[in-house]
Structure 1
């Protein structure tokens, strides 16, 4: 779990660091948002393939370790290219290749929980794993903001790479496939690309065929697209309200802190995960509206806190649905494929938010809030249909 927190903290730190670096070098959010979009969009390919590799590897921790090393190296190339004022198209290309390994930092770790915790402690480990995203989301942007304010965006990006490398021993130390679990699929090797292709299709099929998984996944994709608009807007909003773009990273830290507190408060809630996901998404959208209308940094921070109070429980509820509905033999693929879908939606939101934030940061945040409304509609549709039949 410590390795996952360190790796995810480095990942959460890298996004704000890239945004601040690009904004400082060019004075425009366009390059930074384009690089961030490139870093995330390729997860659509990387996630499903990584899921197959993890399910079939005898030592999945080594797969995660190589992914961490490759991701850290790619980030160094992107940041170094920014500092050297390399052409933007080249930077985006490097980011796209690096992003293929991105799902290792999210679903890749979560898929290993049954081997690490065993069936008797899986529920507790899942709760801690969900909260680790909030811890990383709190520490990453906060570190990025502090380091960027002191040493600039390049220094913040370098620190994020150091954190990713620090997680390598934990990844390599993960147990062999199936250890501690009686429900996992035995690791297998060989079979060629035909078998890999079939297993990728199986992972997608179970998400599409299962109604609860499909609805929760679609809603999370729509919602994260709007969250990306908030993430891209944060440095611009911070610069507008305080004169320093690094304060935008602190806004993202407020979002993560509020999410952590909300998760802790709702840990023992008897409510179903679908209801928690819908309410959390609505609260997230309300926070974005407050941020859009903010005239001071403190009002923006209040809106960020409201957004986080919704985003934290929303993520925990999504994990609960996946663990409940995913077949044991495809659990790894469901998590990594689901993560890749969310990351790809985040990339789309980032790409749309760059030009929009350059025109109006308030309009960008309102667009993100509108997407939360759409996500709530996806989750609430069956409830409304049942109410209409009564």
Structure 2
């Protein structure tokens, strides 16, 4: 009787370990704003220093994003780039937990700038690894939906973990906990398979770092879908960046001080539910159309919440707004992966995230400057910006522009807005 042939084991994608890495890193990132504010208030008696530290933390994102993405692609061992950035991020969080309110402002700000320069790997660079870990097709689409769900879960858990730890122990302990969680992300990332990233870049001709930087920026500008999603989401994040402050002002305006945090929690929970739903059920929509509808849904829900006096109804509308915002992140990830040149994918993910964070910072500053306006009017303005983002995304997609090429995705189906087959650089 012939012996049965051994079946080769199916290689694991590394997706579960990736999701653990992304959750830990993003939990630390999402908890930073609350932890820094609480720590500055406790030690310095003034939250203003915390605001300045956060500004220094966010400022380098847009500058460092293309450089970090290019280095991740160029290095023969991309593992070193990702682990180095995550380690720098962790070290900055732990160091700031000791410096805030104790060391001189220039030293504290310098550490915050250094940590913020590593931030693009957390906010966008990690997501570019999914194209390496999971083969193209429905599995990769689901992986991006799960990645968005992890992002939204971290946005819920990060502030909550910081708040509970600060109440039970101290803000310093909360900051140290975030550093420990970030260190867990480094440990998890060390076990991820990075070999495929090198195999894809080995076939490319040698180029200079300057050329790689130009290639990533050019792709965002010349590829219509990348240009559209970047423009639309950046405009939308100009409003989202001011949503937290607006929610706090709105709650106080209606006689419920302290309920602003509950509104933002409702928004984050809705976003988590929306991204999880998309991971299980794919609507019959292309990703670009899903992005447009998500922006519209978020804008309409926030506009409806502006005149509503009932806290329960307002909270439900914030949940609905978040449920529309969650699929937007998934669609954004998928569009970047489908239309980015394989050699610039990491750069495009980091650059897109950096631009969005910068837009959010500008939006937060704008709401701060207009804080004397009626809060319902501020919320209506944020809603209008979401609708403006949807309109801008649609106009850029339909309009003509430089190049309008579909970079490195010859197998793409323009009607679906996704890759129907592997890109040339991904074929065996």
TM bracket (short chain): 0.7 to 0.9
Counterpart of 2:288 in structure 1 is: 274
SS of residue matched to 1:83: coil
Distance change in 2, residues 1:198/1:360 (3 Å)? farther
Cα distance in structure 1, aligned partners of 2:308 and 2:102: 36
**Pairwise CA distance, 1:271:** 0.8
Distance change in 2, residues 1:284/1:153 (3 Å)? farther
Distance change in 2, residues 1:285/1:16 (3 Å)? farther
Q: Which structure features the higher share of helix residues? A: 1
**Pairwise CA distance, 1:314:** 1.0
Distance change in 2, residues 1:214/1:39 (3 Å)? same
SS of residue matched to 1:101: helix
- Answer with 331-340 or 77-86: which moved more: 77-86
Counterpart contact for 2:141–2:334, Cα < 8 Å? no
Rg larger in 1 or in 2? 2
Cα distance in structure 1, aligned partners of 2:318 and 2:29: 20
Cα distance in structure 1, aligned partners of 2:172 and 2:309: 29
- 1:106 matched to 2:123? The reply is yes
Cα distance in structure 2, aligned partners of 1:203 and 1:95: 26
Counterpart contact for 2:70–2:209, Cα < 8 Å? yes
SS of residue matched to 2:242: helix
Cα distance in structure 1, aligned partners of 2:178 and 2:205: 34
SS of residue matched to 2:76: coil
Counterpart of 2:265 in structure 1 is: 253
Counterpart contact for 1:230–1:365, Cα < 8 Å? yes
- Answer with 340-349 or 32-41: which moved more: 32-41
Counterpart of 1:145 in structure 2 is: 163
The within-5 A match list for 1:50-65 is 50-65=68-83
Counterpart contact for 2:246–2:367, Cα < 8 Å? yes
Distance change in 2, residues 1:76/1:298 (3 Å)? farther
Counterpart of 1:40 in structure 2 is: 58
In structure 1, stretches of 5+ residues that fail to align are none
Counterpart of 1:371 in structure 2 is: 385
Distance change in 2, residues 1:154/1:189 (3 Å)? farther
Distance change in 2, residues 1:152/1:11 (3 Å)? same
Which of residues 198, 206, 209 in structure 1 aligns to 2:219? 206
Which of residues 183, 186, 196 in structure 1 aligns to 2:202? 186
- Answer with 64-73 or 199-208: which moved more: 64-73
Give RMSD over aligned pairs.
3.3
Counterpart contact for 2:44–2:101, Cα < 8 Å? no
SS of residue matched to 1:100: helix
- 1:350 matched to 2:364? The reply is yes
**Pairwise CA distance, 1:104:** 1.0
- Answer with 355-364 or 253-262: which moved more: 355-364
Cα distance in structure 2, aligned partners of 1:291 and 1:86: 43
Cα distance in structure 2, aligned partners of 1:124 and 1:196: 33
Counterpart contact for 1:259–1:311, Cα < 8 Å? yes
The within-5 A match list for 1:322-337 is 322-337=336-351
The count of aligned residue pairs is 378
**Pairwise CA distance, 1:156:** 3.2
Question: Which one scores higher on RCO, CA 8 angstroms, separation ≥ 6?
Answer: 1
Counterpart contact for 2:65–2:120, Cα < 8 Å? yes
Counterpart contact for 1:13–1:144, Cα < 8 Å? yes
Counterpart contact for 1:284–1:311, Cα < 8 Å? yes
